[in-house]
Amino acid sequence: MTIKSAVVESFSEYSQFGSLKEFNNHFEMWMADKKRFFSKGELIGLKRLARFAAKVPGVANAKIGTVLKAIYEEYGEIGISRSTFKRMILKASEIGIFTVYETARKNGSQSSNLYVFNRFPMNELPDGNQLSHQYKTIIPSETIIKKNNKREEKAAEEQSSEIQRLKSGDEKVPEEHLFVSNRVPSEFVNLVKYFYPTAKSIEEFWRMSKVAAYRNNYEKETDLLLSLSLDSFKQLVRKLKSKVEVKNPIAYFAGILNKKYQERYFEELYDLQVA
C-alpha cells in the first residue's frame, strides 16, 4: 500500500495508541518478548526509530538516512550500517512490531516509509513468573512495575540496618547465607554475605544481575555476568563506606551494572568498526 507523503501529524489516524505513555508500555512489552531476535545493532536502530514515533504516538515517518544520522550523532563515530537497519525493518515487520507503508511524493516518486507500530497482543503477554527459554522475561506493565518498586523499597528498608553495620566495620557472617539458592554462584555469595548476610538479600542482588544482563543482551555470557556483578558490588561497597548516602542499594547496584554493560557494548562496537 502506497500513501501520499506528508508531515507526520497528518498520519495521526494511523496511531493505535491514546497517549505516548501507552505506546511506550506496549513497545517495552514487545522488547521484553522479542528482543532476543535482534542483534545489538538492530536493537539500536529499532529503539531509535521508536523515538521518532513520539510526536504521533506509535507513528514514525522518517527516512533511513535521517535515523542513521541521529544514531551517529548520539553515539559518535560508532553507528550502524544501512544494511543493519534494513534487516531490523524486515525482522520487526515480520514479527508484527510495526507495519511499513510506502509513501510517494506528488510526482509519484517514492519518499520515506511510514512505520506504524502495533499494539502488543495481550493474549500473548509473556508470563513474568516463568522463563522464556532459559531466561526470565520482564513485563514492564504498570502493575508489575509497581510490584517491583514495592519489592525494592521493602528490600531497601530491610537492608538499612545492614548498611549501618557495614559502616561500623562489623563483618560477622551469620549462617543464613548457607540457605542461598544454589543457582547463585558461590563466588558471588562469598562476596555479598559479608555485607548483606541474609539469603533473601543475596538472591535479590543476583536477580538484579540477571536482569541487567538480559536487558543488555549478555545473558548467555555467564562468565562476563559474574565478573561484572562482582566488580559492580565492590563498587557499591566503596560507595556505602563513603559519606554519600545510598537510599536503595539494589537500585544503585543495578545502575552500576547497566553502565558497565553499556561500556562493554560500545567497546565491542568499536572493535568491529576498526577490524
- How is 172-231 classified by DSSP, letter by letter? ---GGGGGS-TTS-HHHHHHHTTT--SHHHHHHHHHHHHHHHHHTT-TT-HHHHHHHHHH
pLDDT tens column, 12-66: 888 999 999 999 989 988 988 888 899 888 999 999 999 999 889 999 988 888 8
Is the model's pLDDT at 6 over the cut of 60? no
Q: Kind and range of the H or E element at 239?
A: helix 222-241
Strands (E), the chain: 2-4, 59-61, 98-104, 110-117, 131-132, 135-136
269 in Cβ contact with 196 (< 8 Å):
no
pLDDT in tens, 63-86: 888 888 888 887 766 678 888 899
For residue 110, name the pLDDT band (cuts at 50, 70, 90).
Answer: low
pLDDT given for residue 140 in this prediction: 40
pLDDT reported for residue 63: 84
Q: Could you say which of 3.40.1190.20, 3.40.640.10, 1.10.10.10, 3.20.20.70 is the CATH number of the domain covering 2-124?
A: 1.10.10.10
For residue range 120-170, what is the model confidence (pLDDT) as tens digits? 986 544 433 333 333 333 334 444 444 455 555 555 555 555 555 544 544
Report pLDDT for 145.
Answer: 42
**What is the separation of C-alpha 142 from the centre of its chain, rounded to a whole number of angstroms?**
16
177-220 pLDDT per residue, tens: 677 888 999 999 999 998 888 889 999 999 999 998 888 888 88
pLDDT tens digit sequence for 224-254:
999 999 999 999 999 888 877 888 999 999 9
- Does residue 112 have a pLDDT over 80? no
More confident residue, 265 or 231: 231
Domain-by-domain residue ranges, the chain?
A: 2-124, 141-274
Vertex 141: Cα angle to 30 and 41 (nearest 5):
30
HSE-CB for 98 with a 13 A CA cutoff: 27
User: In this structure, are residues 18 and 45 in contact, taking their beta carbons and an 8 Å threshold?
Assistant: no
Q: What is the pLDDT of residue 146?
A: 47
Do residues 117 and 14 lie in contact, with contact meaning Cβ atoms separated by under 8 Å? no
pLDDT classification of 2: cutoffs 50, 70, 90: very low
Answer whether 254's CB lies under 8 Å from 208's CB: yes
Q: Which residues contact 176 (CB under 8 A, 6 or more apart)?
A: 197, 198, 199
pLDDT of residue 32: 86
User: What is the rounded average pLDDT of the residues 87-94?
Assistant: 93
For the cut 90, the answer to whether the pLDDT of residue 116 exceeds it is yes
Amino acid at 99: T
The model carries a pTM of 0.45
pLDDT of residue 204: 92
Give the burial class of 171: count Cβ atoms within 10 A of its Cβ; 0-12 exposed, 13-18 middle, 19 or more buried. exposed
